[in-house]
Structure 1
């Protein structure tokens, strides 16, 4: 068995794809699978994967892919450059393919599509029978040192600030930031990380000062250590933001390339930032200083550290590789279990999907802070029975919640796109009814309220045995009786 990882990176496009794919490489290697990077790059030496098996070559040709990929190979593709035709070649040539996507760039051929993002809302994917979609926080890819890290304390006074612009500082921002902040804050140590693809190293190092430390080509462990020492960070809005969230390091994100747009949208959607900077903003320096001074406040940093905790569990690589190697999601391998604290973000994301809100009694989008309060009240309540749907990798796929009122239970259902349209809703609802009756056998009936235009839900409840009891202009009341 062999796994091939096709990706790209270099001085102009950064090393974010290579960095996140290195975590998938390690996960495959831990399972004793032969794995190789195939990298389209303008540099032959790539420091962050120097101890891994890799080949630097322009793989963006049908001829190369056809000759290199074997029918027994598993293929992972993380690319902004490959065409849809090339993805199709990889899908057809390999045993199984997995495509990492951040922005719905193309319509993908048969395979697994992974969007390792904070949001399942920003990018819309077609519902079909040829793709398995792995979306959201459970699939965020972290390098192994960043898994389940805990920031132990928050300094009352800022002592160290991290500056990291990714693998390549393509807009020469680091000197500008040091010029604006370094000399004026001599009491603060600035930890400046220089990537292997930087073209401006000499200019950056010209800012030699007692309060500026330079780190070149740091390992993942070294990066984690620097983050935990730093009170906050100034960062490009690429893969590094997930490592900052994992270490609970407050940060000022800068959009340095267009493909970081969705990262910033998701951060804002989840209330994990208030402001994002853009490198070409006329008032970039002024906004940077404003955000910098804001994070100098202990209360501001403490609030962000609290918000970051638990957002990413760091098991994304394991879940992704398990799905790749185990085959497509099996229809008979869906499970119902009780909700857990760590489901809070998945429940929030699913509840805010457009198609879920459209048919809810309250169609307004849910605020993250309101959701946290609601979720904690729900899971602590004796009058709520809350099931979530998972697969064999414990991937969150949907929810069924019952609110107990006297001898009745009001059911609320929402399923993720992965299982919508597969004919599983009926079986999942029936199973949840069996489980709640085992737990609350004093119940006499279950009530479902369905909006007038939600044809699919009306059919679902009728198939399971619910009877329409009454309706008004916009809402139908269905009842399932145990007696």
Structure 2
């Protein structure tokens, strides 16, 4: 059986995005490959490692100083890297004959010396990757990595009256943006209920003592169920916005990290989200008419079918087998 190695980290500071999306891909890959992970041994990344181990993955852990040399001691057929803490020199150091090397990219800071590039974002085709540098490029939202619960969703019914609002900022929230959003929405008495997701890597005890009759807190929800329950979402512009699009949930997008800006701008341009910021969130909610929500829901479900992980895993296996 072929062996695939994934290099990614996740924790309370950097968030869980790299771990979550690679684990979605890994689940599909391990149908016909042995998949393991390489993670940094820094305590900051314990959260991501524990998640992976709980889901049945073997995890190699090395210090940053020894990472490159230790990776080269591992036998594998293909390594997939999902990290911002790498550059061309990293890939040159781990590239070797007989193994495939791929990179899950978001920002295209440079051309990378790898065999294949994945960029699942809707702006990927605007970044002008030099395709002759790679054996294959897998670009665009066709390859967006979403969990099984978001595959082939049914067409969304849009409630004419907006009663339930989802607030989700991601797996971590070190800047306590969730609380600021709640406070700004509750400045006025609205006949709406806020459904607030507390991510697994949020600060310990965050909002534990918060209580309000119009606010419900969720600590480990089935996200697709919650998204379908709510008439509108306020979301950070990470992978969650693609999940919301698949569910047909109209979304107000906010940027909580610099690496979300390109997705934010492109999704606004495509009419998938309405852009806002924390301070203006209440006004943005008021502007979300039934007609706007209806159009946004339709466009989102036309764009995202949730099958990106299956497509990408199939292509990667084909590529490794062929070469």
- 1:8 matched residue in structure 2: 9
- 1:426 matched residue in structure 2: none
Contact kept in structure 1, 2:254 and 2:275, CA below 8 Å: no
Among 302, 305, 310, the alignment partner of 1:313 is: 305
Tell me the CA shift for residue 202 of structure 1: 3.0
- 2:293 matched residue in structure 1: 301
Contact kept in structure 1, 2:105 and 2:119, CA below 8 Å: yes
Unaligned runs of at least 5 residues, structure 2: none
Alignment of structure 1 residues 149-164 onto 2, 5 Å: 149-164=153-168
Among 43, 46, 52, the alignment partner of 1:44 is: 46
Q: Secondary structure at the match of 1:184?
A: coil
Alignment of structure 1 residues 267-306 onto 2, 5 Å: 267-277=267-277, 284-285=278-279, 287-295=280-288, 297-306=289-298
Tell me the CA shift for residue 186 of structure 1: 5.6
- 1:205 matched residue in structure 2: 208
Residues of 2 paired with 1:271 and 1:21: CA distance?
Answer: 27
Instruction: Say whether 1:193 aligns with 2:197.
Output: yes
| TM-score, normalization by structure 1 | 0.61
Runs of 4+ that moved beyond 4 A: none
Tell me the CA shift for residue 204 of structure 1: 2.0
Q: Structure 1 residues 162 and 316, CA, compared in 2 at 3 Å: closer, same or farther?
A: same
Q: Structure 1 residues 88 and 319, CA, compared in 2 at 3 Å: closer, same or farther?
A: farther
Alignment of structure 1 residues 446-457 onto 2, 5 Å: none
Residues of 2 paired with 1:59 and 1:111: CA distance?
Answer: 26
Residues of 2 paired with 1:248 and 1:204: CA distance?
Answer: 28
Can you list the C-alpha shifts for 1:251-279, whole angstroms capped at 9, x where unaligned?
111111111122113213323234243xx
Contact kept in structure 1, 2:156 and 2:297, CA below 8 Å: no
Ranked by relative contact order (alpha carbons within 8 Å, sequence separation 6 or more), the top structure is 2
- 1:403 matched residue in structure 2: none
| TM-score, normalization by structure 2 | 0.89
Contact kept in structure 1, 2:272 and 2:299, CA below 8 Å: yes
Instruction: Say whether 1:133 aligns with 2:137.
Output: yes
- Mark the structure with the bigger radius of gyration: 1
Alignment of structure 1 residues 385-464 onto 2, 5 Å: none
Q: Secondary structure at the match of 1:238?
A: coil
Can you list the C-alpha shifts for 1:224-275, whole angstroms capped at 9, x where unaligned?
0000001111111111111011001111111111111221132133232342
Tell me the CA shift for residue 79 of structure 1: 0.6
Residues of 2 paired with 1:128 and 1:76: CA distance?
Answer: 19
Residues of 2 paired with 1:105 and 1:54: CA distance?
Answer: 30
Residues of 1 paired with 2:156 and 2:273: CA distance?
Answer: 21
Q: Secondary structure at the match of 1:163?
A: strand
Q: Secondary structure at the match of 2:254?
A: strand
